[in-house]
Amino acid sequence: LAKTTQPISMDSYEGQEVNITCSHNNIATNDYITWYQQFPSQGPRFIIQGYKTKVTNEVASLFIPADRKSSTLSLPRVSLSDTAVYYCLVGEISASKIIFGSGTRLSIRP
């Protein structure tokens, strides 16, 4: 399993773009990168998944450079409701374990 490293916490303000980077230096060829969001007292929620280059959905964008040793979750124009913990996961379909790690605690201020 590829180990991931994320900042413990980040702060930003409403209306700003927030970028959270995850390092995964030993990512394997078959590994995908997945991000989840967790609000207090709730289970995590799937945000986005990608393998290479850029993926965009209605919530976020995921940027993955050519070497795939890191990835960046981009949240456009954040609001107070984006305050949550964000987890980066790396793995492939046959993995028997799933590592969420400690995540990044994002705090958005007015």
Partner 1 sequence: GAGVSQSPSNKVTEKGKDVELRCDPISGHTALYWYRQRLGQGLEFLIYFQGNSAPDKSGLPSDRFSAERTGESVSTLTIQRTQQEDSAVYLCASSLGRGVLAEQYFGPGTRLTVT
Query: Which stretches of the chain bind partner 1, using CB under 8 A?
Result: 32, 34, 36, 42-46, 49, 85, 87, 89-103
Q: How far is the CB of 75 from partner 1 (least distance, A)?
A: 19
Give whole-number Cα distances, 39 to 31, 44, 46, 70, in Å. 26, 7, 12, 24
Instruction: Give the residue with the Cβ less far from partner 1, 1 or 74.
Output: 1
Instruction: Give the residue with the Cβ less far from partner 1, 5 or 16.
Output: 5
Q: How far is the CB of 60 from partner 1 (least distance, A)?
A: 14
C-alpha 102/C-alpha 6 separation (Å) is 8
C-alpha 42/C-alpha 6 separation (Å) is 21
Instruction: Give the residue with the Cβ less far from partner 1, 81 or 94.
Output: 94
CA neighbor of 4 nearest in space, from 25, 34, 35: 25
Centroid of chain to Cα 72:
7
Q: How far is the CB of 18 from partner 1 (least distance, A)?
A: 19
Q: How far is the CB of 38 from partner 1 (least distance, A)?
A: 8
Instruction: Give the residue with the Cβ less far from partner 1, 29 or 110.
Output: 29
CA neighbor of 51 nearest in space, from 37, 65, 36: 65
